[in-house]
Each structure stands twice: as structure tokens, then as C-alpha cells.
Structure 1
């Protein structure tokens, strides 16, 4: 019969250690408690229940002190860095959609769809656009949707970034993502010829899907930027610039980039902005990152206590990354596609496959 093993926390020494607990990191303290008191099976100590309750009560009190100390440390770090953040109780409880809130115009909202083979650097390129650092260790994409909000020249802009690489084996879902895209970023690795072939196939797929949606006889011209990443691995290059021009044509927007050292990214981001009719200040090096509440203050034009925090930002390009942004449902995307198709044709079923 299975039995539940119970443990005993000796009281001796715990009260003595209590005052020193709050000045150490939680994992380090846990190690000290286990090391100094030792865990002993209940069979050797008859008064198990009473002593266990006492010990657990002390530990809960210590955890409460840890949480308070972590909050104070976070405030000190944010103040010393000069990027003071508002308290979490004033942060938005849901994703910020400028169009739904009436803070911008439809022409200032764009969705960038990112496609390409696995392990070519798509995630790191997106992280660079969001103002984050390069991650050396590869991890399969888990977050496929990001939203960056801009305030430039007195106008608000919203750029949604959809990494559709997780839909690589689901053609119907990928087709729907393609149909919702306004701008496309196709990424391959300069040291992987197969990834370049996949980008060529994806570009043709996008043109065909858009032509079918708009009832065009020929493949549609789409605002797409081709990115040959990992330019820092020059000795391992297998795809040349001349080969890209030969296969895709001279008119294509092609950039050799390195998400690792940042080379070529500024020009590539500038091309994406130009294709989408966005200001040049949407490039990561040309604006300041602010918090979501500060961004909302700029858009709404609130004064008072918030006015002092935003006064220095008025007129200066800034942006905020929405941490709560989640990809819209497939039903929402389907409605978006059906709505766009009726602008050019009579309403009808959207052929995704």
C-alpha cells in the first residue's frame, strides 16, 4: 500500500535564522534552511503535525517578506536605469488595439507576416525590431504574434507582427495568414540553399493567393522584403547575391542581414516601413521605447500627474511593445479576409485551401 511520507522541520535554529532570511535570494535561503536544519522522516519524531504547522507558518511569513523585498528592488532598479515604470495596478488588463479604441486610422495599422524555414533567424530579427537583444541559443518559436505601437509626428501607428512559421505543416492555416498580411518578410539563411528555395516557393504562393482573393488574372504584386540572414557566417555562404537576383528578379527588395551583429537590419526595416507607408522613425534606432501607460497618455493627451511624465516625449518618436498582445482568432482573421474581398468584388465564400 502506498504511504505518504511526512517530514519534520526542527524548530531549533529557525527563529534564529528568521531575521537573516529576508536579505538573501529565495533559492539560496531554501538551500540554507535545508542544509542547517536537515529534513528528518516523521517516524523519528512523534510530534510531527504541530511542529510542521509551526515551521510552515514561519516559511509563509518569510515568503511574504521576500515578495515585498522583490517589489522594492524592482522600483530601485527601474529608477536607477532612468526608465521609471508605472505601478502594475495601472497597467492595462488587456491588449491595446488602437483601431478599436479610436486612437488611430485604419491606414496606420499594418500586419507584417513573417515566413521562412526553421532556424534561419526569424525570431531574432523580430526581437531586434521589438528593441530586444539577440539570443544565441536556438529555441523553437512559441510566441508567434507581437504588437508594437508607435507615436510619431503626433500620429499613432500600430504594427502587428505575425510569425507564421509554426503553420508550415498546415497549408490552410498558413494561407489564411497570408491573406491577412499587408507586408511580408521572407527570411532564409545564406548558408542554407534549401531555405532559399523555400522562400522562392513562398513568394509565389503569396502572389497566387492574393491574386485569387482579388480576382486577378495574373499573380499579384505584393509588398515583400526578402532577407538573407546570417551574413556574419561569410565562410559558410552558399547563396550569392547574383543568384538571388537571377531567381527573383532585379526588382525584388533583397537585403543581406545578420541578426547577431545587426548589420543590414536598419536598411531592411526601412524597406518594410516604405512598403507599408510607415514613417522612417519606425526603425528601431530612431525612436525611444516607453511603457504602455506612458504611450496611452501620449495618445489620449491626458494631463495632471501623467503630464509630467510625457512632457519630454511630446514630438519625439517613441514606441511601446504590448506585452499582452495575442494573435486574433482564426474566425476574426477569416472575417477580415472576407471584408477585404468585398471591397473589390461581390461577397462570396473565401477559398482558403
Structure 2
């Protein structure tokens, strides 16, 4: 049996955007009405994506963490889901704050993340259009999904899977780069030795 690819995903967003509900919907296909918004939780989930076994660690960040804790979450994660509430313009405006935090902590690496507009079932109270979400995702060069943790509409599972695929691609690229650079070091060391011997 092939070893599972391990991925660490952290979910960010303003308090009340539905981070916990989104995670629970993804993991159990159910919606929970009540939970403690101050609790931070980590879930483990084993799945198969494109015929490959994937072990996911999912971090549900609490709404009001302190900056140091938030930075720790960014260092821990390999991929990120930034969630906003389509009925709350302020939560949409917060997206850039979260993206800037990811960039600052993870530099010089490019950050692997997706943008999710939640609460699509509340279209009558919408403050952020689908087009605005798509436009921001294009500017940030990331995938965009609009969904509802409450009703399950929108492809929540696909959002998580796509992020896993992106993390996996990035790991493969980094692995190749690392192997190439170690080969280069060995060649340089041998050339130095040969230069010393011949001189």
C-alpha cells in the first residue's frame, strides 16, 4: 500500500463567516447549528483524491485569535482556505488582510490557498456579488468557490480536494528542485576535489 500524501490545511476568515460549519459539512456532510465560535479544532481526514491516498489535517482557526497564534497557524499550514460571508461585505474586505499575513509569514514562497464565499443560500441578503469574488480570486491568482455550508450547495468537497491537489503539485516541484540542487552540490564538490588533485 502506498504511503498517504499528508497535507496540512488551515481555514481562515473573520468570526462568523462559517469556517467551522464549512469544515463539518466537508467532513460529515451535515450542518451544525450550534458550536462554540472561540474553539480552535484540528480534524484528521483520510480520503482518496485522483486515485491517491491523502491524509488531511484540517485546522479550524477560532475567530478572534491573537496575532502570534495566527502567525503560528500560518507557519503550520501548507495550504489555506480564506472564507468570507457573501452577506457581510466587511468579511470580504478582510480577505486581503489574511492574504497579506500569509505572504508575510511564508515569504519568499508563494502561498497555496483558495477563496471561498460562504452562505450562498442567503442570496436575498447578499452584499458581495459572485463577480466580485471571482475578480478578487483572479487578482490573487487563486481558485474561487461559492457555496453554502448550511445547504451543502456549491462544491465544498471539490474546493478542499483542489487545494490538496495544488499542495501536492507544489510539493512535487519543490522536491525536484531540492534533488536538483543537491546533485549540483555533489558535482561542485567533486570538481573542487579534482581541481585540487590535478593542481
Q: State the TM-score, normalized to the length of structure 1.
A: 0.43
The residue number in structure 2 matching 1:104 is 3
Cα distance in 1 for residues equivalent to 2:117 and 2:48 = 30
For each residue in 1:210-254, what CA deviation from the matched residue of structure 2 results, as whole angstroms up to 9, or x when unmatched? 11xxxx3xxx42111111000000010001123234445353211
Q: What is the SS of the residue equivalent to 2:3? A: coil
Choose which of 115, 140, 144 in structure 1 pairs with 2:37: 140
Q: What is the SS of the residue equivalent to 2:120? A: coil
Is the contact made by 1:200 and 1:248 (CA closer than 8 Å) also made in structure 2? no
Choose which of 152, 155, 158 in structure 2 pairs with 1:262: 152
For each residue in 1:126-171, what CA deviation from the matched residue of structure 2 results, as whole angstroms up to 9, or x when unmatched? 11221241012454253511111236788643110011225x3411
The residue number in structure 2 matching 1:338 is none
Choose which of 122, 130, 137 in structure 2 pairs with 1:241: 130
The residue number in structure 1 matching 2:196 is none
Q: Does 1:174 align with 2:103?
A: no
The residue number in structure 2 matching 1:253 is 143
The residue number in structure 1 matching 2:116 is 227
For each residue in 1:23-82, what CA deviation from the matched residue of structure 2 results, as whole angstroms up to 9, or x when unmatched? xxxxxxxxxxxxxxxxxxxxxxxxxxxxxxxxxxxxxxxxxxxxxxxxxxxxxxxxxxxx
Q: Which has the larger radius of gyration?
A: 1
Cα distance in 1 for residues equivalent to 2:145 and 2:51 = 31
Cα distance in 2 for residues equivalent to 1:239 and 1:182 = 28
Q: What is the SS of the residue equivalent to 2:101? A: helix
Is the contact made by 2:137 and 2:144 (CA closer than 8 Å) also made in structure 1? no
The residue number in structure 1 matching 2:167 is 276
Cα distance in 1 for residues equivalent to 2:152 and 2:33 = 13
Q: How many residues are treated as equivalent by the alignment? A: 168
Is the contact made by 1:104 and 1:155 (CA closer than 8 Å) also made in structure 2? no
Q: Unpaired segments of 5 or more residues in structure 1? A: 1-102, 279-342, 344-353
Cα distance in 2 for residues equivalent to 1:272 and 1:161 = 12
User: Could you say which structure has the greater relative contact order, defined with CA pairs below 8 angstroms and 6 or more residues apart?
Assistant: 2
Cα distance in 2 for residues equivalent to 1:176 and 1:143 = 13
The residue number in structure 1 matching 2:89 is 193
The residue number in structure 2 matching 1:209 is 105
Which one has a larger percent strand, Structure 1 or Structure 2? 2
Aligned-residue Cα RMSD (Å) equals 2.7
CA distance 1:145–1:238, change in 2 (3 Å): same
Q: Does 1:159 align with 2:48?
A: no
Q: Unpaired segments of 5 or more residues in structure 2? A: 170-180, 182-199
The residue number in structure 2 matching 1:315 is none
Cα distance in 1 for residues equivalent to 2:116 and 2:149 = 11
Cα distance in 2 for residues equivalent to 1:146 and 1:138 = 15
Q: What is the SS of the residue equivalent to 1:135? A: coil
Cα distance in 1 for residues equivalent to 2:134 and 2:148 = 19
For each residue in 1:260-280, what CA deviation from the matched residue of structure 2 results, as whole angstroms up to 9, or x when unmatched? 1111124323322322239xx
Shift of 1:104: 2.8
